[in-house]
Structure 1
Amino acid sequence: MDSMPDDILRNILARLPSNKPLSRCRCVSPHWNRVISDLCFTINSKSQRKFFVTSHKNSRPTQKIIGTFSGIVIYIRMDSNVKSNTKGRKLRTILYNPFTHAFKRLPDPINSNIDDDYDDSSFVYGIAYGKTVLDRDLKMVRLYRASNNSSKNYYLNTCDVFCFRTSSWSTSKVVTQYSKNDFDDNVGTFVNGYLYWIASYRMKIMALNVNEMVFSEIQLPNQGCFTETRLGTFHGNLCMITDTSNFVESGYDIWVMKGVENLWSKEISFPCYGTVNDDLYEFRVVNIMDDGRIMIVDSLNRVIVYDISKCSFELHNTSLSVTDFATVHGIEYVETLVAPSDLCRGY
């Protein structure tokens, strides 16, 4: 069996219905274990997709989901700090496999002393990789304003980048005309080499070229609706969800940006009622999946997935004790046997 070529073995193992049989197959031989644990196999396999959902009970979140890669969830956690001359909070970057419950803490940034004075709301984050996921040039970006006696503005001026390939941080200066308060959400959406954030106050979308670390701006598709906006991807393209801009209907529009000219087109509209049992509740968009499903949470603290292609809602069971639906955050991940430490081993 060990003489079987990797491509043939991947094709056979990828047909298994779940990761439970795969976990047993890892014990067959070191060769099988290596193939099953490889990141390329995870990306191409038919493993089950699940949701990682978090919540907090006060205005200061204890963790912030940044993204996911090959089934590993990347999030920022607020830890207690024993230093008496700080605010008593320390930012930690955690890699977590929800399927195996294995985790790894990334090394602190070079200038991690600023984390003692800042909380996660002081930073703007993003996860980026190469032209495709298979390029695996995985990076985590965080932007912030470093204190400087010569600086008289509040613009973001510093960028820390963690390269997973080398398991190391680098820091560089950036030139922006944006403050942290310009960003509606401090976690960006990555598409084709750019990280995007909504800046409804400026009526723009801010785009960061990750390779060149240069900002540019894109017009919003709907200039008048900001009560419920969120960026995501739709079949590999940048998309944005906005509330319907008329007084007759009550619902949401999904806009998709296609082509090199950054032109927006309205893909679909859907109502904000009938989520479960045709009841009318307020809800908030949590996450937009690339295949057209939307994770939402309603005012009864129920996590619901809406499939825009089928116009159907599905209730997602969660054991979270939610006190405020505005504090719920979530992301979809693929079940995998990849260890979090494998992301930092020159993959």
Structure 2
Amino acid sequence: MSRPSHFIFNLPQDVIFDILSRLPTKSLIQFRSVCTSSPPLISHPSFTKLHLSSPAVDAADHHLLIYYESTDYIHQFYSLRSPITFQETLKFQIPYKHLHGYLRIVGSSKGLICFFDTNYYSNVGRLILYNPSIHKFRKIDDPLHGSDRFSHYVVGFGFVSRIFEFKIVVIAYYFDSLKLNCVLVYSLSTNSWKKLEDLIAPCYLIKGWSSNVFVNGSVNWLASKDAIRGVSHTIMAFDLDDERFRVLELPKNVVPNYDQVCLASSMNGECLSLCAHYLGGNGDKWDVWAMSDYGVVDSWKKVCVVSQPGLSIPPLLIRDDDEILVVMNDGRLMLYNVVKGEMRDLETCGLARTFRAVSYTASLALLHG
């Protein structure tokens, strides 16, 4: 007896969902476009949620997203690359025309990239969520409706696994008081903002773009303990699940006379790293620390030193203890092997200070939104 051409769709829906959820995102998208029976299943919110909860089963779902601008300040590039070879697999443009001049990457999580459309002077703007796998984006309403009471926003983004929810956090600092701010959280499922009435961010982030690292369910920023008496660095973390702040101290043994310090993430997004820059007689040197047990100050460990002339740009990404993605002062993207002390040219050049690198895992998020 011959079976129907779409035998799989004669199975119970939960069985079909389980089978399809194990497929890589690219296959699902192709399947959706050629099979008229599959779109209602793949586009179903329950299936999207199930697929988000499944680990990516194919290497093709894992990418490294590198953003950079041309040296003539005219062009912006979004480059998806293999996290193993760093070869480019796709270069795309955002189907959204920015309003304020700068489209900054806030973060990337479970297939969505969060952008902040802002300008150089105010750092107040509009937020965008974009899924390059399915070419869909969502514009997020300004939570404070362009109020002129605020000096600047600080933004974070991530996915909360426990409740299968994408969230954005905004800290808005007031013009008239450096110690006061308000905290707001956006949830994608409800497409709405809420103000955390009894919560104030415990640290200060200066006016200007403040990048972050999303690790262990928390957004982490390099912040100042005291905005009035000067910079004293610490790490301010916001847990997107319980919506509470915590303050993490820098490594106890970090040499204090650095002239730059920044946060970085590992390629797998599971480890928080700190990079401190020192300028000596032999040129630039970066000490790289990793927090092996998130939140435990005593777990900071100096994992390597990157010493190379012409390397004053903060490291972009830590692939492992031996390899670090860096940008030279002349704008060349390089992979530095710590053990061998060698640089591998990745044949990409741009405006040095514009480079940003985040991990990206393809998903169907926003498919039914």
Fold similarity call, TM over 0.5: yes
Provide the secondary structure at the position in 2 that maps to 1:7: helix
Given the alignment of the two structures, is residue 178 of structure 1 paired with residue 206 of structure 2, yes or no? Answer: no
For 1:208-247, what aligned pairs fall within 5 Å after superposition? 208-210=238-240, 211-221=242-252, 222-234=254-266, 236-243=270-277
Q: CA deviation at 1:54?
A: 3.6
Q: CA deviation at 1:62?
A: 0.8
Give the conservation status (yes or no) of the 8 Å contact 1:43–1:70: no
d(CA) in 2 for partners of 1:195, 1:128: 7
Among all aligned residue pairs of Structure 1 and Structure 2, give the percentage whose two residues are the same amino acid.
19
Provide the secondary structure at the position in 1 that maps to 2:313: strand
Determine the structure 2 residue equivalent to 1:277. none
Aligned-partner residue type, residue 282 of structure 1: L
Determine the structure 2 residue equivalent to 1:127. 157
From 216, 226, 238, the counterpart of 1:192: 216
Q: CA deviation at 1:128?
A: 3.8
Determine the structure 1 residue equivalent to 2:95. none
From 38, 42, 46, the counterpart of 1:30: 38
Larger strand proportion of the pair: 2
Give the conservation status (yes or no) of the 8 Å contact 1:156–1:179: no
Aligned CA-pair RMSD = 3.9
Q: CA deviation at 1:330?
A: 3.4
Q: Relative to structure 1, is the Cα distance of residues 117 and 146 closer, same or farther in structure 2, using a 3 angstrom cutoff?
A: closer
d(CA) in 2 for partners of 1:146, 1:228: 26
From 106, 116, 137, the counterpart of 1:76: 116
Provide the secondary structure at the position in 2 that maps to 1:229: strand
Q: Relative to structure 1, is the Cα distance of residues 256 and 94 closer, same or farther in structure 2, using a 3 angstrom cutoff?
A: same
Q: Relative to structure 1, is the Cα distance of residues 213 and 125 closer, same or farther in structure 2, using a 3 angstrom cutoff?
A: same
Greater relative contact order, per chain length (Cα 8 Å cut-off, separation 6+): 1
Q: CA deviation at 1:94?
A: 0.9
Provide the secondary structure at the position in 1 that maps to 2:314: strand
From 114, 122, 128, the counterpart of 1:94: 128
Listed one character per residue, the Cα deviations across residues 49-78 of structure 1 (whole Å, up to 9, x for unaligned) are 1324043849x9612211012222101113
Listed one character per residue, the Cα deviations across residues 181-209 of structure 1 (whole Å, up to 9, x for unaligned) are 2x896233233344322236213223334
Determine the structure 1 residue equivalent to 2:173. 145
From 18, 23, 46, the counterpart of 1:7: 18
d(CA) in 2 for partners of 1:23, 1:165: 22
d(CA) in 1 for partners of 2:233, 2:305: 23
Determine the structure 1 residue equivalent to 2:164. 136
Given the alignment of the two structures, is residue 104 of structure 1 paired with residue 134 of structure 2, yes or no? Answer: no
Q: CA deviation at 1:45?
A: 4.1
Residue ranges of structure 1 left out of the alignment (5+ in a row): 80-86, 274-279
Q: CA deviation at 1:331?
A: 2.4
TM-score, with length taken from structure 2: 0.67
d(CA) in 2 for partners of 1:202, 1:90: 25
Q: Relative to structure 1, is the Cα distance of residues 340 and 88 closer, same or farther in structure 2, using a 3 angstrom cutoff?
A: same
Provide the secondary structure at the position in 2 that maps to 1:24: helix
Aligned-partner residue type, residue 334 of structure 1: T
TM-score, with length taken from structure 1: 0.71
Provide the secondary structure at the position in 2 that maps to 1:285: coil
Given the alignment of the two structures, is residue 333 of structure 1 paired with residue 341 of structure 2, yes or no? Answer: no
Provide the secondary structure at the position in 2 that maps to 1:239: strand
Q: Relative to structure 1, is the Cα distance of residues 104 and 175 closer, same or farther in structure 2, using a 3 angstrom cutoff?
A: closer
Give the conservation status (yes or no) of the 8 Å contact 1:287–1:296: yes
Aligned-partner residue type, residue 146 of structure 2: N
Determine the structure 2 residue equivalent to 1:302. 332
From 240, 248, 254, the counterpart of 2:288: 254
Listed one character per residue, the Cα deviations across residues 144-183 of structure 1 (whole Å, up to 9, x for unaligned) are 2235xxxx631242011111222110113433553332x8
Aligned-partner residue type, residue 38 of structure 2: P
Residue ranges of structure 2 left out of the alignment (5+ in a row): 1-7, 75-99, 225-230
From 105, 108, 118, the counterpart of 1:65: 105
Given the alignment of the two structures, is residue 268 of structure 1 paired with residue 309 of structure 2, yes or no? Answer: no
Listed one character per residue, the Cα deviations across residues 97-121 of structure 1 (whole Å, up to 9, x for unaligned) are 3344432212231x2222x6768xx
From 50, 53, 58, the counterpart of 2:64: 50
Determine the structure 2 residue equivalent to 1:83. none
Aligned-partner residue type, residue 128 of structure 2: I
d(CA) in 2 for partners of 1:45, 1:9: 13
Determine the structure 1 residue equivalent to 2:234. 204
Provide the secondary structure at the position in 1 that maps to 2:146: helix
Determine the structure 1 residue equivalent to 2:313. 284
